[in-house]
Amino acid sequence: MRKAILIKNAVETLGFFSEQMAERFRELGVETYFVDYDRLAETVHGIRRFAEPEHTVLVTFNFIGLSGEEVFLDEAGRTLWEVCGVRVFNILVDHPMYFHSKLVKEHPNLYLFCVDRAHVSYLRRFYPEYAAEFLPLAGNRLTVRTECPAGTETGIRNAGRAAEFPTESEFSIPLESAYGMRPYEVVFTANYVPLTVFSARIRAQGAEYEAFYRGILEDLLENPAQSVDAVFGRHITEELGNLTGEELRGAMAGCAFLDMYARSLLRGEMVRGLLEAGIKIHVFGADWDKLPLERLSAGKRENLIWNGKMINSSECARAVANAQIALNVLPWFRDGAHDRIFTAMLQKTAVLTDESRFLREEFEDGAEIAFYAPGDTAAAAERIRELLVNPEETAQMAERGRAKAAECHTWGTRAETLFSRI
């Protein structure tokens, strides 16, 4: 590997991840090139000049650049990656069910990476034609705007364009400072999706489908430690009988929206339960004003403090850098992690999260991280109280988490993993 192509400004978070990987690639001696969706025609045009056949890899996420976009196709309908002899590393940050329509198509030289080990097992079962490996999400560092050093070839290396680079910040409070001086006690950086969005879709399917979907949701919420594909597969088989692998994977893809419904339910119930317990939470993200709180008293509703908008990755890191505790609710990754966890750790912020098998292997509860059982709002509230009452111990836990994340869970370390695979 001598060169890497990455993509930015298609999805803000994924571009932010890519910028950090690119920095490490360059340190490893790999020349990088960005396809910039804000300058798409211009930067796609430069791919042919940049790519060196058999020595160039595209590192992308969620099939961006692989979804039949005309700008990446030649006159014969072949992708530029195929034409230019570029291998493709595609990192799926969501469950493979969401990408069924893309996975059933042929993609030459495609290697897949998943952020949950259960997702890898799913791909190997239903799409064995693809090589698939586990690559956890990683943390974002606080950044400042700076100028890239001038490249050797204008338009090829984004010469002179502003980019994000890791740096120290006034928001990274030293461990020596009083931990309680941070302005927020508990921060949750996530968007909320109103449940009416999903319930309307379910009702539109008719009474029979609604009963089927409601059964899946009840099963998931009754035992949130289950994986979504295990629950989907069980209910589909009970309803339709034995199916072929192709039929079952297609049916599960049709239920994928229930994953979003269930995670939004769980996310809302966690925040609502903490408010009920008297915990004050600063939420950063979209649509938290749509969370139903009618059952709570006015005093408890006031414990929800919303920033009023969706924020970008850099702002998320800044928010948790000002917090004593970063709350996390996993998006049904039962054998993986979320970047919220590692981002908070890198800011020396204590992390409280629902557990997964991977996280249990990586961290010791109370030493580098604090766990609660998935869906257990009472346990989460109790852990928050314990952490706030013991700020010195909490600060020490946060420092140990920072050290582990800095060593093992940055996008730089993920770039090293990809480099070693290549």
The string of pLDDT tens digits covering residues 229-265 is 999 999 999 999 999 999 999 999 999 999 999 999 9
Task: Determine the Cα–Cα distance for residues 380 and 340; give it in Å rounded to an integer.
Answer: 17
Contact 360, 392 (CB under 8 A): no
Task: Inform me whether the pLDDT recorded for 285 exceeds 80.
Answer: yes
- Confidence category of residue 294, pLDDT binned at 50, 70, 90: very high
Task: Inform me whether the pLDDT recorded for 95 exceeds 50.
Answer: yes
Which domains are assigned to the chain? 3-136 (3.40.50.2000), 179-193+261-409 (3.40.50.2000), 206-256 (no CATH)
Q: State the CB neighbour count (10 A cutoff) for residue 64.
A: 20
CA distances from 261 to 206, 250, 293 (A): 18, 19, 18
Q: Both ends of the chain: CA-CA distance in Å?
A: 7
Task: Determine the Cα–Cα distance for residues 113 and 95; give it in Å rounded to an integer.
Answer: 11
The string of pLDDT tens digits covering residues 154-212 is 232 232 222 232 333 434 444 445 677 899 999 999 999 999 999 888 988 888 999 99
Contact 265, 221 (CB under 8 A): yes
Task: Determine the Cα–Cα distance for residues 378 and 396; give it in Å rounded to an integer.
Answer: 24
Dihedral sign (CA 226, 230, 236, 238): negative
- Confidence category of residue 375, pLDDT binned at 50, 70, 90: very high
pLDDT value for 228: 93
- Confidence category of residue 145, pLDDT binned at 50, 70, 90: very low
* Residue showing tokens 């364009």: 161
Question: Which of 94-113 are b and which e, b meaning 16 or more Cβ less than 10 Å from the residue's Cβ?
Answer: bbbbbbbebbeeebeebbbb
Name the packing angle between helices 12-27 and 313-321 (round to 10°). 80
CA distances from 224 to 71, 249, 276, 323, 331 (A): 41, 22, 21, 27, 11
